[in-house]
């Protein structure tokens, strides 16, 4: 039978796996393993990670995640995540990350490295899957290695792989779904089942990833690979996928969360997501050149004849459409687009190889700029005044024109005075068993590491009669979804701190989050004086 004009040349998966054990991909995986796993537990869990790990602790005792363990409440949404009438079962975010955390803690102990282990492993497997995806369907070891290599050197991706949250698992499941789609899913049940399983599990990893990725992938498939679609098999795929998804709609109470939609936020969300895209993922000049190159597709839907280029267009369209759908969600965070980093790495690797064929010096310079600097991402924005970057002179962060890998390695080898580490160390030394801490923020890391009773944070209002032995004041004033002061800060205002408490200023800076991975917030090098100190109030004897 004659090969269709737009067919992708395929080999078998076993051959692709054997290709992974060659020296170059093995070296890439070794570098990726080092960058992801080295000092994995160096910095303690921050607030969001600690939420997952605290729920994981309840899984290990009760079998299901619960928001109350008899002493402490686990909540960052003012008690929206559970119903006391059904035993505080967690019904807000999906459970895969919770069970991954529980498995890590069960295998390696109640520590940050144990909690993060299986998430880090999923990140490493994502690098391998990126290599396999390109090698399997395009038989181009150089492109495969370059894609995996660029992903390995992408610092924001590495940061998220070292977090005990769904980010790396969502990335791996996304790659698995794409891999299954380009397999012979129309005639073989294995790829069909693999695609349904990947997308169903993606929902249970994070339903926002599912709701943005699946419609985008379907639209891109219709536009670029409609000859690979079969209505009957597609219907079967949808049935199998929804069989996994529909129970989750009720389990996670998505209907109650839909009320947070706010159309007024959509334009701002779009701006922020596309700023993230060009600042950290695909530089604006690259997007502009590719948009011009593919102008006939955008005007006449004329698909590229080269299978590799058509797949790169698929990656670009899938990325952009996902951002458009995510803009409909009220909360916008960089973590919702981490699963798109491999697609961006594949695109940049292809662009670099095309440029190399045209001019080797130009291709080499482009690839070095992309792999080792963020200059191509940031300088064009500065010159064109498209984005005002107030952090551009902060050499500690990725938002400055620094060397990302240098910053990353500096943190790995030199460590970082993490704000949560300092708070935890203080209370481990000075608090007594049975003490209660009121923390304006960072309550969940304190619960995980100290075992003390910890109130406040984003849990909701403490009982009026509470008289905590310790009060942890944070410099940032936080408001809830209704733009009201969080109850923990409001409760502190009801206490007579001057009369009943002793003020302690600790010799450490009061940073906002600790080991948060978002590139807008993650600092790799400690700040220099002047800096606001951590402030803690200790209850006076008889107070």
Residue 485 confidence (pLDDT): 83
Average pLDDT, the chain: 92
Confidence of residue 343 (pLDDT cuts 50, 70, 90): very high
Confidence of residue 5 (pLDDT cuts 50, 70, 90): very low
Residue at 306 is within a domain: yes
Judge whether residue 1 has pLDDT over 70: no
Confidence of residue 10 (pLDDT cuts 50, 70, 90): very low
% pLDDT > 90, the chain: 80
Residue at 6 is within a domain: no
503 φ/ψ angles, rounded to the nearest 5 degrees: -85, 130
- Which of 389, 409, 442 is the C-terminal boundary of a domain? 389
Residue 476 confidence (pLDDT): 85
- Mean pLDDT within 302-307: 96
Residue 527 confidence (pLDDT): 82
Residues 344, 334: Cα–Cα separation, whole Å: 14
Judge whether residue 256 has pLDDT over 80: no
- Domain check: are 445 and 376 in the same one? no
Confidence of residue 528 (pLDDT cuts 50, 70, 90): confident
- Domain check: are 524 and 464 in the same one? yes
- Domain check: are 472 and 380 in the same one? no
Question: Under a CB-based contact definition with an 8 Å cutoff, are residues 449 and 416 in contact?
Answer: no
Residues 110, 101: Cα–Cα separation, whole Å: 10
Residue at 1 is within a domain: no
Residue at 304 is within a domain: yes
pLDDT tens by residue, 44-61: 999 999 999 999 999 999
Residue 513 confidence (pLDDT): 94
- Mean pLDDT within 202-209: 96
Residue 382 confidence (pLDDT): 79
- Domain check: are 379 and 505 in the same one? no
- Which of 373, 389, 405 is the C-terminal boundary of a domain? 389
Residues 150, 350: Cα–Cα separation, whole Å: 11
Q: In what order do the strands lie in the sheet with 501-509?
A: 453-456, 436-439, 470-473, 533-539, 501-509
Residue at 98 is within a domain: no
Question: Under a CB-based contact definition with an 8 Å cutoff, are residues 114 and 41 in contact?
Answer: yes
Residue 7 confidence (pLDDT): 45
Confidence of residue 6 (pLDDT cuts 50, 70, 90): very low
pLDDT tens by residue, 221-255: 999 999 999 999 999 999 999 999 999 999 998 87
Task: Count structural domains, the chain.
Answer: 2
- Which of 345, 367, 389 is the C-terminal boundary of a domain? 389
| pLDDT higher at 532 or 353 | 353
pLDDT tens by residue, 446-464: 999 999 999 999 998 999 9
pLDDT tens by residue, 504-521: 999 999 999 999 999 989
Residue 541 confidence (pLDDT): 84
- Domain check: are 177 and 130 in the same one? yes
Question: Under a CB-based contact definition with an 8 Å cutoff, are residues 315 and 309 in contact?
Answer: no
Residue 222 confidence (pLDDT): 97
Question: Under a CB-based contact definition with an 8 Å cutoff, are residues 180 and 195 in contact?
Answer: yes
Residue at 198 is within a domain: yes
- Domain check: are 352 and 456 in the same one? no
Helix ranges (DSSP H) in 139-283: 141-152, 155-161, 167-182, 189-205, 207-224, 231-251, 254-257, 266-276
Judge whether residue 12 has pLDDT over 80: no
pLDDT tens by residue, 169-201: 999 999 999 999 999 899 999 999 999 999 999
- Domain check: are 359 and 423 in the same one? no
Residue span of the structural domain in which 450 resides = 419-539
Question: Under a CB-based contact definition with an 8 Å cutoff, are residues 97 and 171 in contact?
Answer: no
Residue 391 confidence (pLDDT): 52
- Domain check: are 477 and 380 in the same one? no
- Mean pLDDT within 294-323: 97
pLDDT tens by residue, 117-148: 999 999 999 999 999 999 999 999 999 999 99
Residue at 535 is within a domain: yes
Residue at 503 is within a domain: yes
% pLDDT > 70, the chain: 95
- Domain check: are 243 and 372 in the same one? yes
How far, CA to CA in Å, does 295 sit from each of 69, 301, 351, 428, 472?
57, 9, 16, 61, 56
| pLDDT higher at 386 or 97 | 97
Residue 337 confidence (pLDDT): 97
Element holding 356 (H helix, E strand): helix 341-358
Residues 284, 274: Cα–Cα separation, whole Å: 10
pTM of the model: 0.95
- Domain check: are 311 and 364 in the same one? yes
Residues 15, 13: Cα–Cα separation, whole Å: 5
Judge whether residue 438 has pLDDT over 70: yes
pLDDT tens by residue, 352-408: 999 999 999 999 999 999 999 999 998 888 777 776 655 556 788 888 888 999 999
Reduce the DSSP state of residue 485 to 3 states and report it. Answer: strand
Residue 298: CA count within 13 A, CB half-sphere: 9
- Contacts of 309 by beta carbon, 8 Å cutoff, 6+ apart: 350
- Domain check: are 122 and 250 in the same one? yes
236-245, 256-265, 495-504, range with the lowest pLDDT: 256-265
- Domain check: are 380 and 452 in the same one? no
| pLDDT higher at 184 or 435 | 435
């Amino acid at each position: 039978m004659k090969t269709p004009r737009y067919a992708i040349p395929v080999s078998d998966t076993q051959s692709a796996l054997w290709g992974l054990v060659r020296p170059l991909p093995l070296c890439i995986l070794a570098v990726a393993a080092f960058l992801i796993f080295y000092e994995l537990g160096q910095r303690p869990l921050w607030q969001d990670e600690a939420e997952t790990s605290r729920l994981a602790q309840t899984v290990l005792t009760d079998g299901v995640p619960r928001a109350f363990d008899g002493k402490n409440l686990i909540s960052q949404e003012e008690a929206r995540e559970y119903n006391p009438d059904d035993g505080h079962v967690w019904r807000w975010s999906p459970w895969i990350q919770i069970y991954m955390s529980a498995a890590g803690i069960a295998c390696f102990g109640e520590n940050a490295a144990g909690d993060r282990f299986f998430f880090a492993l999923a990140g490493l497997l994502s690098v391998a899957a990126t290599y396999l995806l390109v090698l399997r369907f395009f038989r181009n070891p150089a492109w495969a290695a370059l894609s995996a290599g660029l992903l390995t050197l992408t610092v924001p991706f590495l940061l998220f792989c070292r977090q005990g949250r769904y980010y790396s698992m969502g990335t791996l499941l996304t790659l698995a779904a794409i891999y299954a789609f380009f397999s012979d899913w129309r005639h073989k049940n294995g790829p069909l089942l693999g695609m349904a399983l990947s997308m169903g599990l993606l929902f249970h990893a994070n339903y926002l990833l599912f709701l943005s990725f699946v419609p985008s992938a379907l639209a891109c498939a219709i536009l670029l690979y409609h000859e690979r679609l079969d209505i009957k098999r597609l219907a079967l795929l949808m049935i199998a996928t929804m069989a996994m998804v529909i129970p989750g709609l009720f389990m996670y109470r998505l209907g109650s969360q839909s009320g947070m939609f706010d159309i007024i936020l959509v334009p701002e969300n779009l701006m922020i997501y596309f700023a993230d895209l060009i600042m950290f993922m695909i530089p604006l000049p690259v997007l502009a050149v590719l948009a011009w190159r593919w102008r006939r597709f955008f005007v006449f839907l004329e698909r590229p004849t080269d299978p590799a280029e058509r797949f790169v267009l698929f990656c670009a369209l899938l990325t952009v459409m996902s951002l458009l759908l995510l803009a409909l969600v009220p909360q916008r965070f960089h973590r919702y687009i981490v699963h798109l980093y491999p697609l961006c790495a594949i695109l940049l690797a292809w662009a670099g190889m095309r440029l190399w064929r045209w001019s080797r010096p130009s291709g080499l310079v482009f690839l070095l700029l992309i792999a080792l600097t963020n200059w191509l991402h940031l300088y064009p924005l500065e010159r064109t005044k498209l984005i005002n970057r107030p952090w551009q002179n902060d050499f500690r962060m990725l938002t400055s024109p620094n060397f990302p890998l240098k910053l990353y390695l500096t943190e790995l080898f030199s460590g970082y005075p993490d704000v949560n580490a300092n708070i935890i160390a203080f209370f481990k030394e000075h608090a007594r068993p049975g003490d209660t801490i009121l923390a304006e923020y960072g309550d969940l890391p304190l619960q995980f590491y100290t075992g003390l009773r910890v109130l406040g944070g984003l849990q909701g209002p403490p009982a009026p009669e509470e008289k905590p032995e310790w009060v942890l004041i944070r410099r940032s004033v936080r408001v809830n979804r209704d733009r009201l002061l969080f109850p923990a800060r409001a409760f502190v205002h009801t206490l007579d701190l001057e009369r009943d408490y002793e003020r302690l200023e600790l010799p450490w800076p009061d940073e906002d989050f600790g080991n948060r991975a978002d590139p807008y917030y993650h600092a790799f090098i400690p700040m220099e004086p002047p800096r606001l100190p951590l402030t803690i109030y200790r209850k006076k004897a008889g107070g």
